[in-house]
Amino acid sequence: MDSIECISYSDGNDEDEIQPHRHQHQAPGPFSSSKPHSNVVSSAGIRPTTSVHELLECPVCTNSMYPPIHQCHNGHTLCSTCKTRVQNRCPTCRQELGDIRCLALEKVAESLELPCKYCSLGCSEIFPYYSKLKHEAICNFRPYNCPYAGSECSVVGDIPYLVSHLRDDHKVDMHSGCTFNHRYVKSNPREVENATWMLTVFHCFGQSFCLHFEAFQLGMAPVYMAFLRFMGDEAEARNYSYSLEVGGNGRKLIFEGTPRSIRDSHRKVRDSHDGLIIQRNMALFFSGGDTKELKLRVTGRIWKEQQNPDGGACIPNLCN
């Protein structure tokens, strides 16, 4: 990048002039010469050339640019996020940046139709440039975030990849089967902080489920919460149900529900109280009454629901 000379195309915004900015040493591309702009962007359905696509990439952060797209006096473009960070100097030519909008490029973008960025993962949809981003945020083919709750893990991927990531990188316990029996022991439950949690992964029905166990403060009261998340989409999660049971000292609490998709963050599930919630006093009572030690025995079961043609009822908390 150090060899970039500032090539001025301030005398016009046509393709011939813009092209050399990122492809200085190449011959003009197939669409670059002698064709009017409207042909370059083409009609719906025809894939735009890479070069047009690259034009809409911010040369500073390489993200796609959305209005307002800015440019310097020499015509170097940059996105609005980068503009606020460069202290009024063009990152390309170091000239004063000013406040010039690149309307021409914004218009080019408007007329583009682009494939979803997850096309390599199976999405075949094509979108106008400005609605592409909106779709990609909810695309069913988008990768999943790592469901591990204890840290801000930024790993993303498909389910098989995340399962091995949980096992290898987070050392999460893996179990097979649709029933479980877990003991959660804590010698000094008074020390429980907001961030106490445990994750176990279960494999059954050819799917993977995350069992979360967390301690947090609910209002003034410390509570424990156990819940299940499905490693897959929400629609698929509705094909399964689970129950959790905790008890001792002749008392018992049972929760039955539908696992939430890992598309919903563990925090979101937690905050919606969609799981088995145990008040700490009750938890200590289950642990043996007078003891100061927390010893909770949580048993559970996962099962597959009968076919569910209408997709099931919507849990209020799920739909906000």
The residues that touch Zn ion, with contacts defined as CB under 5 A, are 58, 60-61, 72, 74, 76, 79, 82, 90, 92-93, 116, 118, 123, 139, 146, 148, 153, 155
Q: Which is nearer to Zn ion, 148 or 230 (CB)?
A: 148
Structure-token pair, residue 286: 């289950």
Q: CB under 8 Å, gap of 24 or more: what pairs does 9-14 form?
A: 9/74, 9/75, 10/73, 10/74, 10/75, 13/75, 13/102, 13/104, 13/105
State the nearest-atom distance from the C-beta of 115 to Zn ion, in Å. 8
State the nearest-atom distance from the C-beta of 166 to Zn ion, in Å. 7
Structure-token pair, residue 154: 């930024």
Q: Which is nearer to Zn ion, 91 or 275 (CB)?
A: 91
State the nearest-atom distance from the C-beta of 199 to Zn ion, in Å. 10
Q: What single letter denotes the amino acid at residue 205? A: F
Q: Which is nearer to Zn ion, 116 or 298 (CB)?
A: 116
Residue 134, phi then psi, degrees to nearest 5: -60, -45
Q: CA-CA distance, 207 to 227, in Å (whole number)?
A: 16
Query: Are 226 and 209 in contact, with CB atoms under 8 Å apart?
Result: no
State the nearest-atom distance from the C-beta of 300 to Zn ion, in Å. 23
Q: Which is nearer to Zn ion, 10 or 217 (CB)?
A: 10
Beta bridge partners of 25: none
Backbone torsion region of residue 45, taken as left when φ is above 0, otherwise alpha when ψ lies between -120 and 50, otherwise beta:
left
242 membership: H or E segment, kind and range: strand 240-248
**Three-state secondary-structure class, residue 97:** coil
* Residue closest to 304 by CA, chosen among 246, 211, 230, 227: 230
State the nearest-atom distance from the C-beta of 247 to Zn ion, in Å. 33
Q: Which is nearer to Zn ion, 18 or 79 (CB)?
A: 79
Structure-token pair, residue 90: 């063009």
State the nearest-atom distance from the C-beta of 74 to Zn ion, in Å. 4
DSSP assignment of 146-157: P---SS----EE
Beta strand 156-157 pairing with 144-145: antiparallel
Q: Which is nearer to Zn ion, 50 or 63 (CB)?
A: 63
State the nearest-atom distance from the C-beta of 233 to Zn ion, in Å. 13
